[in-house]
Amino acid sequence: MSVQNFPAATIVGYPRIGRHRELKKAVEAFWKGTANRSELDAQVAEVQKVNLARLTELGLNADYAIPASFSHYDQVLDTLRLVNAVPSRFADALDERGILPLEGYFDLARGTQDQPALEMTKWFDTNYHYLVPEVGAQTSFELNPEELFAQLDIAKEQGVRVRPQIVGPITFLALAKAEDGTAPDFEPLSRLDDLLAVYEELLTQLTERGMQWVQFDEPALVADHQHIDAARLSELVSSTYGRLSAHSRRPALFVTSPYGDLAQNLEPLAQSGIEALHVDSVSADYSDRLQQLAEQNGLHLVVGAVSGRNIWRTDLRQTLKELEGLKGISIATSTSLQHVPHDLNLEESLREDLKSWLAFADQKVVEVLTLARAVLEGEDAVAAEIATASDALAQREKSEGVRVQAIRERVQEVTAQSGAFERPTTSERQQAQAFLNLPQIPTTTIGSFPQTSDIRKQRAAFRAGTITESEFDGFLREEIASVIALQEEIGLDVLVHGEAERNDMVQYFAENFEGFDTTVHGWVQSYGSRCTRPSILWGDVKRSGEGLEGSAFTVPWISYADSLTEKPVKGMLTGPVTILAWSFVRDDQPRVETAHQVALALADEIADLEKAGIKIIQVDEPALRELLPLRAAEQPEYLKWSVGSFRLATSQVADSTQIHTHLCYSEFNEVFEAIDGLNADVTSIEAARSRLELLEDLPATFDRGIGPGVWDIHSPRVPSVEKIRSLLEQAVDSVAPDHLWSNPDCGLKTRGYEETRASLVNLVEATRAVREQVAKK
C-alpha cells in the first residue's frame, strides 16, 4: 500500500446542520410530508456542497483534509446503517433488499406507531445525543455503503477529495446496548469479529473507489466503561486495528480519539499498524508522550490542538509553545466541530470586544491552518496572527464585568457559612410539606407546555418591535391562563405555568443574568433536527438589576399562574450545572467558581419565589450526568462540586417548601448516589424510553419522591392508558406508593396540543386506576 501524505491541517468533523439550519428545515419538511424524497436529497446535497465550498475557501484544500462528516440525523445511526445492524424489532424498516433505507433510518431515530425509537443518550461528555444501537447474538452485519458513497460522490462532483469518516468498530459496539431478549451476560462487544468482517469489506470497496485515507473515530478509547474491563479494551484495540491494518486492500487508516486521554489504549493503538493517529491535546495533557509519538516510525501524529468544544479564541502563542520541537506533525481540532456554531461572522449584533475573544467553527479552521503553517514554516511565518490572538486575550482579561470584586466577595462569604449547603432531614421536611395535601402518586408535568407557532410568532414580533412589551405580556398571560385551565380540566395535581415566556431553558436565564451574552445564529445540534443556541458565559454572574442580588424575573409569571388556581403551581428554574453545561463557559477559572456564582443567583430567585407564596419549586438539572468526567478517577471531584452547586442554590428554603428536580437524556443509574446527594424532595427522571430499567438500580435508602417518566415525549406517539398503567404498576414494585409520582419524562415544548391533551388525559386516568389499586392492597 502506498500512502499519500496526510494533510498538514485538518478537522475531525464539521457542523452538518447548515449555516442557517437548512438540515433541520429539510428533514422536518420531509417528516411532515411537505417535501418529497428527491427534494430532501437535493437540499441535503446543497448543505454538503456549501460546507465543502466554505472549507475549501478557508484554506482546507489539501486532498483528504476534509472529512465526510455529514449526517442526516446522527453519526452512530449512520454507522448502524452502514453495517446494516438493524435491531430485530425494526425488521419492518428494511426494504425489499433487506437493507435499511433512509425512511427506515428515520423510523429507528423517531419511532413508529408500533416501536419506540432507539434510546438516545449523551455522546461522551458533550451535549450531543446519539442513538443507542441494539445488538444481539443474532444481529446480522452487512455492508450498506449507499449513503457514504453518496457523500463521496457529492464531494467528487465539487472537485473535493474528502476522507470517509466512520464511527470505529470498538466505539460502535461499546456504545451499543444488548438487544432485548439476549442472555443476561451477552455483550455487544462479543460480536466484534463479525463486525470487523464488514469493516474489512468496506476497506476493500473504498480502495476500489480510489480512496487513500479513511477516518475511524474511536472516542470510546478515552473513557472508562462500567461493563468493559480496561485491560480487555486495550487488547481489543491491538487486535482490532492489527486486523484492519493487515487487510490487504485498504486505504491508509486514520484513527481519532477525541474528548479525552487514550491512557492505557495509547500504546496498543500507536503500535497496531495504523498510519495516522489523532490525539486530543486540549482535553488531555499528553506533554512528553507527543514527542515519542511524533518520532515513531510509520505513524503520523495528528495533534488536536484547537478545541472543538468551546468558542474561545485559541491562545496561539501558548499552543505553539506546547508543540515546540515536534516535527512532521499535522494539526487538527481536538474533536469534531459539531459542538460549536458555524461562523462567528454571522453574528452581527454581538459586542465587538466579546467577538474578538471568540472563534466558532470557521474561525477554528483558520486557527488550525495557522498552527499548521507555524509547524511547517516556523512561528515567524504567522507572527501577525499570534500577536492578534494574544492582544485579544489580554483585552479579555481586563475587560469590565469579567471579574467583579463584590460578586466574588459575596460568593466567598456565603459558601464559607456553615449550613450553606444543608437542609434539615427529609423526614422533617416530609412532615412540614404534608399541608400540600397531595394524593398518592401525584400527577404533574415537567414544566413546559407546547411552544406553538403562535407563541413563536408573538415572540418574534416582540423582538422585531412590531408589538409592544405590554402587548407581548398580555399575550403570555393569556397563554398561561389557558395552560392552567387545561391542566385543571385534565385533573392534574401539581400545575405549571407552561414556560411560554422562555425561548430556551438556559438562554432565558442567561438573558436575565449579568455575565452572559446570547447569539443570534449560534446554533449547535443537540440531536437529530434539534438544535440549541448556547449562551456565552464570559463574566461574573448575578441577577440583572440593582445591587448584588438583582431582581426577580420568574416570579411575575409564576405568581400570576398561581393566582388562577387553588391547586399548587410549581415554580420552575434551571439548575446551575445545566446552565453551565448548556452554555459556552469561560475557560479562565475553575468551573466550580462559576457554578457557585450561578447557584447564588438562583438562590436569590428561589427566595423571591418563596416570598411570593410559591410552595413547590423545581430546579431542573437534566445535564447533571452530562459533565461527568469520562475517567472514573475524576468523577468524585466533579460530583462534589456539581451536587454542591445545586445544594447551594436550594438549601436555604423553608422545610415546608418542596424542592423538585428533573433529570433527563442520560443513563442515571451510575449517579444515583449523586442524585440522592442533591437532597431534593422529588426527582422526576427520564425513563420511558429505557422502559423503567433504572428503577431496578434505585438504592433502597432513597427516601424521596421519584417520578419515573411514564410518557416518552420524544416520540410523537400518544401513550395508551394501558401502557402508562403497566409502567406505573411496574414502578410500584420498586418504589413505595408514597414516594411515587406520575409524569411525562420531559417538558412538552416540542409536542403539539392535541397529543399533549390526549396523553395527559391518559396519564391521569392510568394514575387514578393504579392509585385505587394501591389503596385496596
Binding characters for ligand MET, 541-580, by CB under 6 A (x = yes): -------------------------------x--------
Q: Which three cell numbers stand for residue 546?
A: 440593582
Q: How far is the CB of 688 from Zn ion (least distance, A)?
A: 12
Summarize as ranges the residues that interact with Zn ion (CB under 5 A): 622, 664, 746
What are the binding residues? Answer: 24, 127, 446-448, 499, 530-531, 582, 620, 662, 664, 686, 746
When CB distances to ligand MET are compared, the closest residue is 747
Cβ-based burial of 149 (10 A; exposed 0-12, middle 13-18, buried ≥19):
middle
The listed partner (ligand MET, Zn ion, none) that binds 217, CB under 5 to 8 Å by sort, is none
The listed partner (ligand MET, Zn ion, none) that binds 47, CB under 5 to 8 Å by sort, is none
Which residues neighbour 397 within 8 Å (Cβ) at sequence distance 6 or greater? Answer: 588
The listed partner (Zn ion, ligand MET, none) that binds 447, CB under 5 to 8 Å by sort, is ligand MET
Which residues neighbour 556 within 8 Å (Cβ) at sequence distance 6 or greater? Answer: none
Report the alpha-carbon distance of residue 14 to residue 472 in Å, rounded. 38
**Comparison of 191 and 497: residue with beta carbon closer to Zn ion:** 497
- How many C-beta atoms surround the C-beta of residue 442 within 10 A? 20
From the list 359, 446, 649, 706, which residue makes contact with ligand MET (rule: CB under 6 A)? 446
Stretch of 140-148, 337-345, 398-406, 746-754 lying at the interface with ligand MET (CB under 6 A):
746-754
Which residues neighbour 726 within 8 Å (Cβ) at sequence distance 6 or greater? Answer: none
Q: Which three cell numbers stand for residue 777?
A: 392492597
Residue 714 falls in the annotated catalytic set: yes
Helix (H, G, I), strand (E, B) or coil at 415: helix
- Given a contact cutoff of 8 angstroms between Cβ atoms, the answer to whether 207 and 115 are in contact is no
Residue 283 binds ligand MET (CB under 6 A): no
DSSP E strand boundaries for 243-285? 252-256, 276-280
DSSP labels, 206-218: HHHTT--EEEEE-
Residue 620 binds ligand MET (CB under 6 A): yes
The dihedral region occupied by 571, where left means phi > 0, alpha psi between -120 and 50, and beta the remainder, is beta
Amino acid at residue number 91: A
- Given a contact cutoff of 8 angstroms between Cβ atoms, the answer to whether 376 and 558 are in contact is no
Stretch of 130-138, 451-459, 525-533, 743-751 lying at the interface with ligand MET (CB under 6 A):
743-751
Q: How far is the CB of 675 from Zn ion (least distance, A)?
A: 14
Q: Which three cell numbers stand for residue 14?
A: 464539521
Q: How far is the CB of 574 from Zn ion (least distance, A)?
A: 11
Report the alpha-carbon distance of residue 406 to residue 550 in Å, rounded. 13
Report the alpha-carbon distance of residue 121 to residue 177 in Å, rounded. 11
Report the alpha-carbon distance of residue 476 to residue 546 in Å, rounded. 25
**Comparison of 174 and 624: residue with beta carbon closer to ligand MET:** 624
Residue 708 binds ligand MET (CB under 6 A): no
From the list 747, 756, 767, 771, which residue makes contact with ligand MET (rule: CB under 6 A)? 747
**Comparison of 524 and 746: residue with beta carbon closer to Zn ion:** 746
Q: How far is the CB of 578 from Zn ion (least distance, A)?
A: 10
Sheet holding 513-517, edge to edge: 513-517, 535-543, 583-585
Site for ligand MET in 58-87 (CB under 6 A): none
Q: How far is the CB of 502 from ligand MET (least distance, A)?
A: 8
From the list 568, 622, 644, 707, which residue makes contact with ligand MET (rule: CB under 6 A)? 622
From the list 364, 749, 751, 771, which residue makes contact with ligand MET (rule: CB under 6 A)? 749
Catalytic site residue from 247, 342, 714, 739: 714
The listed partner (ligand MET, Zn ion, none) that binds 448, CB under 5 to 8 Å by sort, is ligand MET
Dihedral sign from CA coordinates of 640, 646, 650, 652: positive
From the list 505, 536, 601, 675, which residue makes contact with ligand MET (rule: CB under 6 A)? 505
Report the alpha-carbon distance of residue 610 to residue 654 in Å, rounded. 8
Contacts with ligand MET by CB under 6 A lie at 446-448, 499, 505, 572, 620, 622, 662, 664, 746-747, 749
Q: Which residues are catalytic?
A: 714
